[in-house]
Chain A
């Protein structure tokens, strides 16, 4: 790996690059799924290649190849430099990078059981048992389960002298029960929707999730939703479970704080951000109890946004994003940090694979725990709705207006959880919503959720992000508009 990367850097510099970095990535996947008692997917894949990023004539170029021969690397370097020179045709100024030291290091996330060494038939057997448990419940028309595993072995080498080897092992799993009755399709998932829970851990995560034990409850709640009450319309107090709260953080904090988006670099596709530069250290983003960090360090937990170094060789850091309600930080890279006069990148450049350019991505964007017990949160709510597990999500291209619905909800009346509610939904304006937060549960209820499917960039890159959250309460929120006539 190292010889290939060094060769790419040398050839790029020899062709006129003033800076070069290379990522050799060897990525292995395993995906298994089941549906209604049968195996759906059973597949393994591997992909090895190199991506080379250069600055030449003051502009960026990037090329990638899986032809890992002398000729392949030579052609890749030539193409990267040619692209940079073409970029220079439309440049306004030379690329300037915030300074960074060089590092020679290795990093690997800890795990107990290598999921690729667990026999695939054992993984399928777990899914089939959960599938059978779900289908025992009358009214379930579809039972599905999935597991996915990913091992990324990557070497980063740069022309400033960094040589960083990292190995990331990722595991994830989930189950879904679906019921069609009358003119209605209801769905219940565990431990989260859209693929379940994903972390930088080994197979021990899957064992802890205990899909089989949760399958009957998931199925029973799914069928019960057909006879649940519709979501009321109006202004209400809501309590979000930690998984839905994690997605709320992702969409209405994680994306708007991306500095490339703020500076217009994503305007054509992912959009821009309401967090213009004048708002840094002046905008009251949320209430006083809202404290949010971007933390890629292992100390924060083994999230999908955890690493030793980002993909331009900057060490993992913890950046305060919202401090006691005040907006205090963006996600930056070396180029955008320099553009706004900051002395250093806070290390958020990440790439989907060897064939994609690193771009600013969320790491673990988490709310710090509060001090409430969940039981006390319910008990201290006179009239509200508790919402659990995301069903749909949408937000505008500047991240002001959002609408979410969840799979299930429950009325809260006089401090007690009451009748079930189907397809509860809520909507609002980001800063108004965050300023209405009046209670957050403690560390005992805090989970570092993994979002494996975050899309950004052109060409599109899918990235895993982490979001630590515990249940929280919001006052005077608009609910029920999604299905209003």
Chain B
């Protein structure tokens, strides 16, 4: 994959950012000690029975390009301090981004005042004391130190490539760092920071387009030129799309397309969602639902994942097997939903108060060994899909989703790609789709636009239901 290969340009940019931009990154990085200092200030101000402080600090920048030029170029820096007060079995939250003493006093009082007028919550548990966390290291100084000039150089290079190919490009290159700290008056203090780099590129021709995207904590893993070349090849390959009839097709979904579909399953794995009887797993736990080749975990510790190793109440996240060989076997739990279900918390709870409970945000699908080329070679007639768009749920229990194909939809005939076709609308049950998977590629970190990033494979699926065709 592109993120593991480095062109000369990518290497140069990374080395330069490391030298010149380090001071900028350190200026914006507050660090655990500073966030702890803010939290302790609030504990001194608070008159609540228990107090929790959740602080997040973000520094990010994004260079946006279209029509082979940079047209938007932005940076932001911000801090949010969120205080939860508990008094007499009642709880509420107030937040601010102001750090002066008066504002901290006001937000602390506001949380308490809000809590006092709440009905008592019988499910509220005492706050946790200090927890033992598994260390994760996802802060990369080179990423944090990237400058506007670094991003502009990479983008300029992609724009020149598009010019040379007589194509038009649009996309983004963003870099940033995030810090979060969770502390409470029972002595818990947890801190996490990470960096993120993202490059997304669309290449357009008169009647076609292609797309590629990658994200990583390491800017050195992002290779804009390789991604742009892939998008360019897709745009060139999808010229003059033919209209073929809607229907059921054997379909090869690239990882980004898989991600955006299976991403709609994530909240169904929440214990609260099942208890509320709005999950597609309600009444189906322990029963064969998907094909034998489908296994899914939530695993924040996976090397291709990002995210903190603790949840909204500070519970250490566990790796949870959600689906084993097609059978949904476990859900994820917050402390409150675990108590109700007589299970153990898994470290997936949202910040309180929350009616939604919990969710897994680090899904990892078991992959296979098939390359996309092998999937194509083994297909007599089918479709190859780059990316999906505007996906929405039509039926929550059968998990029927609708959406469109986009930026590279190809016809496969007799084991090879024979041209492009006009984009389709699909109406497809994800349960049925995951029962019809014939081949799996290696699981990779995929990034789309409809779901958060996950580790998923490309899939070859039989009888995928395309219901209508659009005009391009």
Contacts and interface: CB of A to CB of B under 8 A. Distances in A.
A396 B406 contact: yes
A392 B276 contact: no
Contact of B73 (A61, A266, A274): A61
Interface string A376-398: 00000000000000011111111
Given A33-B355, A43-B95, A268-B201, A124 B119 contact: yes
Contact of B355 (A40, A66, A89, A92): A40
Contact of B63 (A36, A82, A86, A427): A86
Given A124-B119, A398-B472, A482-B427, A178 B73 contact: no
Nearest to B80: A47
B402 A64 contact: no
A62 B72 contact: yes
Nearest to B356: A40
A183 interface: yes
Contact of B395 (A34, A43, A393, A483): A483
Nearest to A455: B449
Interface in A427-447: 427, 429
A436 B448 CA distance: 35
Given A60-B72, A396-B389, A484-B427, A405 B394 contact: yes
A183 B398 contact: yes
Contact of B97 (A38, A48, A265, A391): A48
B75 A63 contact: yes
A120 B117 contact: yes
B148 interface: yes
A38 B121 contact: yes
Nearest to A458: B172
Interface in B183-212: 200-202, 204, 209, 211
B148 A425 contact: no
A425 B394 contact: yes
A401 B152 contact: no
Contact of A268 (B172, B282, B404): B172
Contact of A397 (B72, B276, B404): B404
Interface in B155-183: 155-156, 159, 168, 170-172, 174
A369 to B, nearest CB: 29
Given A45-B95, A357-B72, A357-B74, A83 B148 contact: yes
A43 B277 contact: no
A43 B398 CA distance: 34
B69 A92 contact: yes
Interface string A60-87: 1111111100000000000110111111
A474 interface: no
A113 interface: no
Interface stretch (B251-259, B360-368, B435-443, B463-471): B463-471
B335 interface: no
A47 B402 contact: no
B346 interface: no
A234 to B, nearest CB: 14
Contacts of B449: 269
Contacts of A355: 76, 78
Contact of B406 (A39, A60, A397): A397
A263 to B, nearest CB: 7
A66 B80 CA distance: 10
B425 A39 contact: no
A142 interface: yes
B77 A65 contact: yes
Contacts of A458: 62, 64, 72, 172, 174, 200
A7 B79 CA distance: 22
A153 to B, nearest CB: 14
B42 to A, nearest CB: 15
B267 to A, nearest CB: 13
A371 interface: no
Contact of B390 (A67, A184, A396, A478): A396
B451 interface: no
A121 interface: yes
B56 interface: no
B412 to A, nearest CB: 22
A148 to B, nearest CB: 14
Contacts of B73: 59-62, 83-84, 86-87
Contacts of B69: 90-92
Nearest to B75: A63
A341 interface: no
B425 A423 contact: no
B419 interface: no
B19 interface: no
Contact of A46 (B97, B117, B200, B396): B97
Interface string A173-196: 000001010011100000000000
B51 interface: no
Given A41-B355, A180-B282, A265 B397 contact: no
25 contacts: A39-B353, A42-B93, A42-B114, A43-B95, A44-B95, A44-B110, A45-B96, A46-B96, A63-B74, A64-B75, A65-B76, A66-B77, A86-B148, A87-B63, A92-B67, A92-B69, A121-B117, A142-B276, A267-B204, A268-B200, A268-B202, A396-B425, A423-B394, A423-B395, A482-B400
Closest 5 CB pairs of A and B: A40-B355, A86-B148, A180-B277, A401-B470, A267-B170
Given A144-B355, A393-B392, 10 more contacts: A39-B118, A40-B356, A47-B96, A65-B78, A79-B75, A86-B147, A396-B389, A400-B471, A427-B425, A481-B468
